[in-house]
Structure formats: C-alpha cells, structure tokens
C-alpha cells in the first residue's frame, strides 16, 4: 500500500488529547490522520474523521467498529504497543514525515515507553517528532544547528551514556560531556535564535519547549 510522499501524516495515540494551539493546528491541517485504537473517539469528538484506525481494538466501541469498517487495520500482536503498530502502518502508507500527538500525559509508564520508542522510529523515517502540550521531542543523530529563540527551554536526553556531547548557544554549555543520567541534560536554555549540538556517535533525544 503506497501513497504520495508529500502528505502530512499525524499519528494520534490514545493518551492526553492535545489542547495547545500548535499541535492542534497540525492536527487540523493534516492530510492523513492515523489513530491508535481508542484515540479514534477523541478525534471524532474534536470534529475530525480518522483516515485509519490501527490496533488490537480493545478500546473502541461497537459503534466505531461499524461506522469505520472500511478503515480498520486490525493488528492483534501483543509484542508491540498500538503506537508502534500505527507507526509501522504509516510506513506502509509511504510516509516520509510523521508527527505523533497524544503519546504523553496520562499513565507515566506509557509516556516513558512512547518517548523511548521515538529513537527507534527515527532510524526508519527521515522526519519524525512527538508534540505535546508543552513542546516537541525530536531525535538528533548527527551534529546539527537547531532553530530556537532566546530563553527557549531545552532538555537533552542521552540514550547512550558513552556518547560525548558538545553544545554552543546554550546557557549551560556542554564540552565533550557524557550524560550518564537523564536529569543531567534537562532545564537548559537557548541564548539566541539557534544553538548547535555536536555528537560523538549515536542518538540524542531533544526536547524544545514552545
């Protein structure tokens, strides 16, 4: 199954539905919205129709099953969660960019699991991000310059404790530093309209507040 690569894809998880204007604007303008199981009802309550509903269907109503029979993608695999099932379906559709919404904000174990999966997803898509009501998670796999603004709150999460990180343009600079615990790279701050991150190897999880 393929589609045009110019589409803007949203993968909507069944966590806290966004309320911030920025993720809501992405959701409203999306070309394709793939819902994870019970997120389909939240999207309907928002006033938008899901293009596809993916999952094991343990949390959707009989009414949604009947109404959207033609767009149900049943995947009973219990070795992956519904977010990953939805992600792989987006790959099958031919997505080259993906914004994930609703993946945080309710159960903390689900939130941590979903955030950690973002690094895996970034290995398979050139552009993937996870937006919340407070900011956006992206994965850096090379040295980059990121757009920003003075005072923007920045947090860095190393997925590999042997990774060495150097930054420029942050209030608390890193100089060939390893982050061995997730808290060590949190609560930093941008000094201008951009900042730079250099990595020795591996992936780095970046969170930028709005």
pLDDT digit string (tens) for 58-112? 889 999 999 999 999 999 888 889 999 999 999 999 999 999 999 999 999 999 9
- pTM value > 0.85: yes
Tokens 């060495």 sit at which residue?
A: 164
Task: Give the per-residue pLDDT at 69.
Answer: 95
Predicted confidence (pLDDT) at residue 2 exceeds the cutoff of 90: no
Q: Which CATH class is domain 9-133?
A: alpha beta
Homologous superfamily of 139-209: Thiamin pyrophosphokinase, thiamin-binding domain (2.60.120.320)
CA distances to 9, 31, 34, 109 from 4, rounded to whole Å, are 11, 11, 15, 35
Please say if the pLDDT value at position 168 is more than 90. yes
pLDDT in tens, 125-146: 989 999 999 999 999 999 999 9
What is the rounded CA–CA span in Å between residue 52 and residue 195? Answer: 38
Domain positions in the chain are 9-133, 139-209
> First vs last Cα of the chain: how many Å apart?
35
């Amino acid at each position: 199954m393929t589609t045009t690569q110019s589409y803007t894809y949203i993968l909507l998880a069944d966590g806290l539905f966004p309320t911030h204007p920025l993720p809501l604007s992405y959701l409203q303008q999306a070309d394709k919205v793939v819902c994870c199981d019970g997120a389909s009802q939240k999207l309907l309550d928002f006033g938008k129709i899901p293009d596809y509903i993916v999952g094991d269907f343990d949390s959707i109503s009989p009414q949604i099953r009947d109404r959207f029979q033609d767009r149900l993608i049943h995947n009973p695999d219990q070795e992956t969660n519904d977010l990953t099932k939805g992600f792989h379906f987006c790959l099958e559709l031919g997505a080259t960019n993906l914004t994930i919404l609703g993946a945080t904000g309710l159960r903390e174990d689900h939130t941590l699991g979903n955030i950690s999966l973002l690094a895996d997803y970034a290995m398979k898509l050139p552009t993937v991000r996870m937006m919340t009501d407070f900011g956006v998670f992206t994965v850096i796999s090379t040295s980059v310059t990121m757009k920003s603004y003075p005072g923007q709150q920045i947090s860095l999460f190393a997925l590999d404790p042997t990774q060495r990180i150097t930054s420029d343009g942050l209030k608390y600079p890193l100089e060939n530093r390893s982050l061995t615990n997730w808290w060590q790279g949190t609560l930093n701050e941008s000094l201008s309209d951009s900042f730079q991150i250099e990595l020795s190897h591996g992936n780095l999880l970046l969170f930028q507040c709005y």
